[in-house]
Amino acid sequence: MTTGPFDLSGKRALVTGARTGLGQGLALALASAGADIIGLGSQAMPETRGRVEALGRQFNEVVYDLKDPSGIAEMFAGLVAGGATVDILVNNAGQIRRSDFIDFTEEDWDDVLNINLKSAFVLSQAVVRHMLERGIQGRIVNIASLLSFQGGIRVASYTASKHGVAGLTKLMANELAAKGITVNAIAPGYMATDNTEALRNDPDRHRAILERIPCGRWGEPTDLDTAVLFFASPASGYVTGQVLAVDGGWLAR
């Protein structure tokens, strides 16, 4: 059994976008510290279930497409009615669309903003109400990005959404700290996930990115483990409103 400042035994974490990549890694990190997991994704996630259960933790799967935030509150109410409690929320689900600014479509703008920002807002509202009703000293961890600090190129909706995630994190932290709920964000750098496959397959972009990262490599999902465990644990009770870059030194360059 996990002991120490990052012990999450007896806690339950809701992780969005838990099927693959960073979301799966975050779910596994929390499960390894003792938390049971509710994984939310647009498709079934048998691999995540198997790996969480192999750690001896419970896994509850919720299949829901966050491109439509209108049903999130009802979906979460169904979870609670089924007996679920949530101590930790990780708003990880995200999507990126690439196109020159002048060609960027309204559909690509709306889909990305709905998944990356609006769904995080609506789900956080539902979870916070639940935490307040149950007297839960909750933890919310949002997944921001380097593009919460920078502009990027050809990713208009992603950049706007991740700036929004950083701002929402601080707003929520201000309002919820006195209620015993902390809200922080992790801003991953260039990670080896599906979202960066196009960049990693472009020799020129791949080389240029690696040349700027002081650590000299792409990040892996496990590089976020200690950050999410810190923000999710009782040990970080006096830390809120922070956006922590886990980027191999990119922003310092």
- Summarize the confidence of residues 175-183 as an average pLDDT: 98
pLDDT at 2: 53
Q: Is residue 19 part of a domain?
A: yes
Number of structural domains (the chain) is 1
Q: Which residues contact 3 (CB under 8 A, 6 or more apart)?
A: none
Q: Over the stretch 39-55, which tens digit does the pLDDT of each residue have?
A: 999 999 999 999 999 99
In a domain, 253, yes or no: no
Residue 135 pLDDT more than 60?
yes
Report residue 26 as tokens: 């975050």
Structure-token pair, residue 248: 């191999």
Q: What integer pLDDT is reported at residue 3 of this predicted model?
A: 66
Annotated catalytic residue within 64, 158, 190, 238? 158
Core vs surface per residue 160-169: b (16+ CB within 10 A) or e: bbbbbbbebb
pLDDT tens digit string along 200-233? 888 988 899 999 999 999 999 999 999 999 999 9
CATH of the domain at 41: 3.40.50.720
Residue 1 located in a structural domain: no
Q: Give 235-250 pLDDT, tens digit per residue.
A: 999 999 999 999 999 9
pLDDT higher than 90, residue 31: yes
How does DSSP assign 32-88, residue by residue? Answer: HTT-EEEEEESS--HHHHHHHHHTT--EEEEE--TT-GGGHHHHHHHHHHTT---SE
Whole-angstrom distance, CA of residue 200 vs CA of residue 221: 16
Quick check: is 201 in a domain? no
Q: Which two tokens stand for residue 203?
A: 């020799």
64 a catalytic residue? no
Domain annotation covers residue 125: yes
- Judge whether 3 lies within some domain: no
57 within a domain of the structure (yes/no): yes
Question: Is 153 within a domain?
Answer: yes
The answer on pLDDT for 195 being more than 80 is no
List the structure tokens of 195: 């979202």
User: Structural domain of residue 157, as residue ranges?
Assistant: 12-191+221-245
